[in-house]
Amino acid sequence: MQSSNAINYDYTVAKYFTISAIVLGIVGMSVGVLIAFQLAFPELNNMFGEYGTFGRLRPIHTDGVAFGFTVSGIFATWFYVGQRVLKVSMAESKFLMFIGKLQFWLYIIGVAVAVVSLLLGYTTSKEYAEFEWPVDIAIVVVWVLWGISIFGLIGIRREKVLYISVWYYIATFLGVAMLYVFNNMEVPTYFVSGMGNWFHSVSMYAGSNDAMVQWWYGHNAVAFVFTVPIIAMIYYFLPKESGQPVFSYKLSLLSFWGLMFVYLWAGGHHLLYSTVPDWVQTMASIFSIILILPSWGSAINMLLTMKGEWGQLKENPLVKFYVLASTFYMLSTLEGPIQAIKSVNALAHFTDWIPGHVHDGTLGWVGFMIIGGIFHMAPRMYKREIFSKKLVEAQFWLQTTGIVMYFTSMWIAGITQGMMWRATDQYGNLAYSFIDTVEVLHPYWTLRAVGGSFYLIGVFMWAYNIYKTATSSKAIEKEPQYATPMA
């Protein structure tokens, strides 16, 4: 087999998506910090007229981070990892290089149109699926192009064995494709009725059916965007950075098939105490509890990979990112199933505990892995050492502090909220009005916004460090085999 050093990997497309991950991370998270302060200080909603209100900005934050920052990170790492584990260069196929570049530019155009349309208020009002039908079609085209790149590289590979990360990237492609197409089945109203705007549409589903399809999609968008591809990343970057082999390849496969089967049945836990059939709710709760097993199987496998090498945490800040990401993954995948228990959900649903759960996963697990992955890639793509190790360390601790401030404030706020909503006096009347809960929660909302600001500052530090690495850091003559060189 030809050695990896003999292959001249072409990182052109990986660099493109690295830049988009950084830019969209800054945009999406800046909007997130703004709307967090808007919740604490409502007068901030008046800054930019109708275009600066929470309702306009919130889907831009959600989709900007989920489908901008995260998906860009997924694409960037695939076009880096895919070549290396398959032992083939993009430069060896003019067709695949063209497809990769076409995918990037269509993606950027799609992102721009999506942001403008949401800012103007054009939305289907479906969580994680707000885009009208023309944008949906563009997204499907971009996704198909990525699939061509995945299977195209696999088709011309030199390495015959598919490393576990490739399994997870394939599952990401297939899972999101299935979920997105079926949930976004919609009818363009103008072409059916002859009335209204040509880009307006309504869902093909209605009522409880629409709710079930939506949350089958919504929860599994988390599975196949925030979980499966991020596991693909850590199974590559942690062993490469630490020089340690994956603790158990069999456990990685067992966890893979467990996630594939169990995750798809858990979406109904978003619809507890609703009009969907009770058996759907119960089944979703049960599968949510079972989901702890494959999730923790992956996380424990990652942590045990460092067995006997924990000293690297002192010396290598990237290992810190990966290990803490795994820890946040364990925390989030225990917290979610607990919230899916019906008696707990009765307290937690619609409270701030839910965004607390979402963000300890997205900021700690997803964010840390994409940031850490791109830090690992940068010296190998640009052939320069990381500009500043001290800046990486400072970013890690600042962002960790921000995450802890975020989710602890939301845990306390959410449980307080739920208990105040349920509290009654001796006559059975509600003990608190809604505005009473708002007044009590104000300090926690402020703390959440400050914690988000810390994380956002860390993203700017990351962007600066990568920029300086690419442009002016010390050149390295030989690609590092394991630990990433840092000034």
413-440 confidence digits (pLDDT tens)? 999 999 999 999 999 999 999 999 999 9
Which residues are bridge partners to 187 per DSSP?
202
Query: What are the tens digits of pLDDT across the range 343-356?
Result: 999 999 999 999 99
Residues 281 and 274: their CA atoms lie apart, in Å, by 9
Q: Report the pLDDT averaged over residues 457-486.
A: 95
pLDDT of amino acid 5: 54
Any idea what DSSP says for residue 44? Answer: G
| pLDDT confidence of residue 6 | 76
Element holding 186 (H helix, E strand): strand 186-188
The position carrying tokens 């901008």 is 68
Mean pLDDT, the chain, integer: 95
Mean pLDDT, rounded, for 291-317: 95
What values do phi and psi take at 2, rounded to 5? -70, 135
Rounded distance between C-alpha atoms, residue 81 and residue 373, angstroms: 10
- Determine contact, residues 250/214, Cβ cutoff 8 Å: no
DSSP 430: B
* Residue 396: closest CA among 455, 356, 449: 455
Q: What is the distance between the alpha carbons of residues 284 and 70, in angstroms, rounded to a whole number?
A: 26
Reading the block at residue 332, the tokens are 């989030």
Q: How far apart are CA 418 and CA 432, in angstroms?
A: 11
Per-residue tokens: 290: 């079972």
* 132 alpha-carbon distance from chain centroid: 22
**Over pLDDT 70: what percentage of the chain?**
99
Q: Is 87 helix (H, G, I), strand (E, B) or coil?
A: coil
Quick one: what percent of the chain has pLDDT higher than 90? Answer: 95
C-alpha Rg value of the chain to the nearest Å: 23
**Whether pLDDT at 4 is above 90:** no
The Cα 485–Cα 379 span in angstroms is 8
Please choose, from the candidates 139, 14, 113, 145, the residue with its C-alpha nearest in 3D space to the C-alpha of residue 73. Answer: 14
List all residues 6 or more positions away from 325 whose beta carbon is below 8 Å from its beta carbon: 230, 234, 364, 365, 368, 369, 372
Terminal C-alpha separation, the chain: 34
* pLDDT (mean) for 195-212: 92
pLDDT of residue 208: 93
Is the pLDDT assigned to residue 2 strictly greater than 70? no
pLDDT surpasses 50 at 1: no
Confidence of residue 17 (pLDDT cuts 50, 70, 90): very high
H or E stretch covering 130? none
Interval 9-31 mean pLDDT: 98
Ranges 300-304, 414-418, 475-479: which has the least confidence: 475-479
What residues are paired with 201 via a beta bridge? 188
Burial classification of residue 206, based on how many CB atoms lie within 10 Å of its CB (0-12 exposed, 13-18 middle, 19 or more buried): exposed
